[in-house]
């Protein structure tokens, strides 16, 4: 039996959760998990190094790296193929405000 997954801590929920291309004939759908979105936000938008970003999310650096790879693959699929990108689900918990 596999060990349970650790919930990833996110600081905020995405403000926009759904993106779609103008070409409505393309029907492909890509689901980006909220924890993958948070990894992209910390690494690419905030400019944090993987170790520091992983610590903020409460996960190991290799797990953070796998999140980044998965998120990048999904975003590239959406950008190159069109359709819609939905940010929903995942294994996360919202950071408690102090």
Per-residue model confidence as pLDDT tens digits over 24-45:
788 889 999 999 999 999 999 9
CA distance 87 to 32: 5
Q: What's the predicted TM-score (pTM) here?
A: 0.90
Phi-psi category of 82—alpha, beta or left, where left has phi over 0 and alpha has psi -120 to 50? left
Listed by start position, the domains of the chain span: 8-94
Q: Give yes or no for a contact between 50 and 68, defined as CB atoms under 8 angstroms apart.
A: yes
pLDDT value of residue 76: 95
Fold designation for 8-94 = Arc Repressor Mutant, subunit A (1.10.10)
pLDDT value of residue 22: 86
């Amino acid at each position: 039996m596999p060990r349970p997954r650790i919930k990833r801590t996110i600081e905020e929920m995405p403000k926009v959760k759904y993106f779609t291309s103008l070409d409505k004939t393309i029907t492909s759908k890509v689901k980006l998990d909220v924890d993958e979105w948070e990894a992209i936000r910390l690494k690419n938008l905030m400019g944090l190094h993987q170790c520091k970003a992983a610590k903020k999310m409460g996960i190991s650096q290799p797990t953070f790296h796998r999140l980044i790879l998965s998120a990048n693959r999904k975003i590239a699929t959406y950008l190159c193929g069109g359709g819609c990108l939905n940010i929903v689900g995942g294994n996360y918990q919202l950071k408690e405000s102090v």
